[in-house]
Amino acid sequence: MEYADFPERLAVVQERVEAARSRANRTDQPVTIVAVTKTHPPSAARAALAAGVTDLAENRVQDLEQKVAAVEDPRAIWHLIGHLQRNKARRAITLSQLIHSLDSLRLARQLSRIAVEEGTTVRALVQVNTSGEAAKGGLSPESAVETIGEMAELPGLVLEGMMTMAPFDAEEAVLRHTFGATRELSAEVARQISGYQPRHLSMGMSGDYEIAVEEGSTLIRLGTVLFGAREP
């Protein structure tokens, strides 16, 4: 059976998450595992669902579309976690229940316009670049309050927190700075912007999720640690 070891891998992750919550005295803060099925076949998503993991994620809209159609399971809660091009916004809204990568005011306006046309609401996390890496997308900490203030005024758009990505293979101090700065920025935005809801912090992937949980993450995006190495 493909991904037969998923339950065992999941149990290890859950144990480590609980230990991280305990170390950081965050046991009252739930942490949701989002299984990233990127480059894996639909059977990966089915294995996750069979083990009770209902939050699933893809990076690209076209891959998300294929997975949703192939899996076709009402239990699945689909997340879009990769960069979203504005010309694919309508499909993203239809396919996903939460967009993690709202990274510009222009995209926010596009999502809002479509939401109003469709008579729906779009749940999104604002992507911020607290690592300072030039290659990373997202709002800078310096512009976040002003930009999110404008986003929060747009109809049909519900801002439920922030997402960030830490540098790959960074030292612990760098990881803690990136995640901690995002937590603090979210709290500051919430103090200043009434339309911003600090429900979620999407932080942490397979290599750094324990530190992310210690720093306040509520959504951890895990692929390799749950499914094994991705196909090239």
- Give the per-residue pLDDT at 138: 96
Q: Which CATH class is domain 6-227?
A: alpha beta
Q: Average pLDDT, stretch 213-220?
A: 98
Q: Taking the CA atoms of 33, 25, 101 and 125 in sequence, report the sign of the dihedral they define.
A: positive
- Give the per-residue pLDDT at 1: 64
Q: Average pLDDT, stretch 47-57?
A: 98
- Give the per-residue pLDDT at 156: 98
- Give the per-residue pLDDT at 46: 97
Backbone angles phi, psi at 26, to 5 degrees: -120, 30
| Domain parsing of the chain, residue ranges | 6-227
Comparison of pLDDT for 103 and 230, the residue scoring more: 103
Q: Taking the CA atoms of 55, 59, 65 and 70 in sequence, report the sign of the dihedral they define.
A: negative
- Give the per-residue pLDDT at 168: 87
Q: Please, which pLDDT band fits residue 231 given cuts at 50, 70 and 90?
A: low
Measured CA distances, 158 to 53, 121, 151, 211 (Å): 24, 7, 9, 28
Q: Average pLDDT, stretch 124-142?
A: 92
The model carries a pTM of: 0.96
What number of helices (H) and strands (E) belong to the chain? 9, 8
Q: Average pLDDT, stretch 91-117?
A: 98
- Give the per-residue pLDDT at 227: 97
Confidence check: pLDDT of 232 > 80: no
Q: Please, which pLDDT band fits residue 134 given cuts at 50, 70 and 90?
A: confident
pLDDT digits (tens, 9 = 90+) for 150-166: 999 999 999 999 999 99
Q: Please, which pLDDT band fits residue 205 given cuts at 50, 70 and 90?
A: very high
Measured CA distances, 171 to 20, 139, 174, 177, 178 (Å): 17, 23, 5, 10, 11
